[in-house]
Structure 1
């Protein structure tokens, strides 16, 4: 889709995109490093200056129930989405937004919301979006972005139980 200033596309990542997604994941992890409170051992640098591999990253490339999507703006890498079927309320859902990242350069420009609209259109079914309690920017983004998708109904905001998840959880149906 074309926004006033750019074209946004979302496509399944290819095996050759794996190093790109891994690199973008480093910036995703970095963004979390300034959200307080940060557990003491989280976000420590590895000996090579990276944050180390993203947890469960390999599973996204080997488990057929998981999906890796590459987000592009004007043909350039802008972010990624990692989809799985794990519910934060327990059990499974058809789709869970495991991770969603759009680079700071592209934020507040409509790229993330448009990427989400494309994802919800391409992957219909029951969805969950869990947001960490300390991620205030995401708590503002998700309800607006979900509601802006034309094919979404039954939007419900729940709250994690404090053990399995701490923070808000939105669920919806995408048709």
Structure 2
């Protein structure tokens, strides 16, 4: 498994993975595709164009299996804005290793959001937080701005120490 900063040439691959990610989340957010079969992609665009963001591509045996978008690189708190691993690569440890690698590249305070109804994500992100910060992490529910009809997101916060060199 390899996690690397995605380049402009990787964008078409990440765009296709993005469609799978949005499809998975549509179950929990009630979002339908646009008329052309795509989903809203402003976060994808921002990840590749904003200096405060970093897009990562995850590969396994040289095949793309996921991505991670980090925002808040210049601020006090980094946010793992979007994280995806293709279904065929799940339950093999790839997601946990990828998340740990992305977190380690940006030591400091982190926040990650997910939905309570996404049971696999609940277990996954609690495990990531425990691996990254031991017992020192918090969890809270925050309403989605402009979407009062949806349940609040769960936000996990923790700190990732700098690795010794």
Task: Say yes or no: TM over 0.5.
Answer: yes
Contact 1:46 1:52 in 2 (8 A): no
Match of 1:174 among 127, 140, 160: 160
Whether 2:82 is the aligned partner of 1:99: answer yes
**Inter-CA distance 131–93: structure 2 relative to 1 (3 Å threshold):** farther
Partner of 1:59: 46
CA deviation after TM superposition for structure 1 residue 167, in Å: 2.2
Q: Which has the higher helix share?
A: 2
Partners of 1:68 and 1:57 in 2: CA distance = 8
CA deviation after TM superposition for structure 1 residue 137, in Å: 1.8
For structure 1, the residue ranges without an aligned partner over 5 or more in a row are: 1-7, 87-91
Whether 2:129 is the aligned partner of 1:146: answer yes
Contact 1:43 1:51 in 2 (8 A): no
CA deviation after TM superposition for structure 1 residue 136, in Å: 2.3
CA deviation after TM superposition for structure 1 residue 73, in Å: 1.4
CA deviation after TM superposition for structure 1 residue 111, in Å: 0.4
**Inter-CA distance 93–166: structure 2 relative to 1 (3 Å threshold):** farther
Whether 2:66 is the aligned partner of 1:79: answer yes
CA deviation after TM superposition for structure 1 residue 53, in Å: 4.5
**Secondary structure at the counterpart of residue 64 of structure 1:** coil
CA deviation after TM superposition for structure 1 residue 11, in Å: 0.7
Match of 2:7 among 14, 17, 20: 14
State the superposition RMSD in angstroms.
2.0
Contact 1:81 1:97 in 2 (8 A): yes
Partners of 2:123 and 2:78 in 1: CA distance = 21
Contact 1:82 1:97 in 2 (8 A): yes
Contact 2:116 2:153 in 1 (8 A): yes
Whether 2:20 is the aligned partner of 1:27: answer yes
For structure 2, the residue ranges without an aligned partner over 5 or more in a row are: 146-150
Question: Which one is further off, 100-109 or 164-173?
Answer: 164-173
Partners of 2:56 and 2:144 in 1: CA distance = 29
**Inter-CA distance 163–68: structure 2 relative to 1 (3 Å threshold):** closer
Whether 2:33 is the aligned partner of 1:44: answer yes
Partners of 1:79 and 1:54 in 2: CA distance = 16
